[in-house]
Structure 1
Amino acid sequence: MRTSSNPSKQKGTAWESALVAYLREHHDPGVHRNVQMGARDIGDLAGYYLHAVEAKAEKTITLADYIAQANREAIHAGQPFGCAVVKRRMKGVADGYVVRDVRTDVRLINRLRDMEEALQSENSALYESLDKQHREAA
């Protein structure tokens, strides 16, 4: 295995790997790192439901750039949402930040609301069971 002599690249790779491990355990075992594709990049990670993920572990945080990149990559990946997952200094993966612009967040919340209302009207027992499960997990 070849290691990079670029410390920033190593830090970014370590963050992506730690994020993949966390998401595999807590979200979906199929989460994986993507191969970089240059101008048609599809995000750093695949398998974070409905999202293209741009993973960032940088000393200087530039949210506007991260969100613009994540939104572009969501289009390339055919995903409805893009987000940046930003490492929080001196903290573990669970304390990182998931960041998206308000426009994207409103679309996500509207979708969640509509899907929950549809499930609740079609199968209230399943809705109540899932609602309880997710509230207890918080």
Structure 2
Amino acid sequence: MSVNKAKGTAWESLIVAYLREHHNPSAHRNVQMGRLDIGDISGLYLHALEAKAEKTITLSDYIKQANREAINAGEPFGCAVVKRRMKGVADGYVVRDVATDVRLMNRLKDAEEILRDIAPTVYEDFDKRHREAA
């Protein structure tokens, strides 16, 4: 295995471990499927995830690939998780284009409005639990 391939595999494994601990215990690396690839990792809610650990960062290529793989995976959103040099997973970057981010935020906004209308007390608890300063 090449050094670059090994670095990519290690980065994917670290992302999976992080997702399993903090988000989804069934997150996993995907088998590569060529032009019908569904992303490097499954398990980030509603997303096809493309993992990148490269010295030279080319965001436009990453986003194009992630969006194509989201379509293949049947997920509404694609994103790239880009390794930050000399940092761990929590300090990496999740990157998507503005159009994808606006679609995601509109979905979240609509869901929160529905929750607020149907169950105001539950919404208040939800809102308090998820408000966290950057």
Which of these residues, 123, 126, 129, is aligned with residue 130 of structure 1?
A: 126
Partner residue, 1:105: 101
Aligned length: 134
Partner residue, 1:32: 28
Partner residue, 1:86: 82
Q: RMSD over aligned Cα, in angstroms? A: 1.1
- Matching of residue 118 in structure 1 with residue 94 in structure 2: no
Which of these residues, 9, 32, 51, is aligned with residue 5 of structure 2?
A: 9
Output the CA distance in 1 between the equivalents of 2:88 and 2:23: 17
Q: Which amino acid aligns with 2:122?
A: L
Output the CA distance in 1 between the equivalents of 2:106 and 2:131: 19
Q: Give unpaired runs (5+ residues) of structure 1.
A: none
Q: Which amino acid aligns with 2:118?
A: E
Output the CA distance in 1 between the equivalents of 2:51 and 2:122: 34
Q: Which amino acid aligns with 1:85?
A: V
For residues 47-62 of structure 1, what are the structure 2 equivalents within 5 Å?
47-62=43-58
Give the C-alpha shift of residue 137 in structure 1. Answer: 8.3
TM-score, normalising length: structure 2: 0.97
Give the fraction of aligned pairs with identical amino acids, expressed as a percent: 74
Q: Give unpaired runs (5+ residues) of structure 2.
A: none
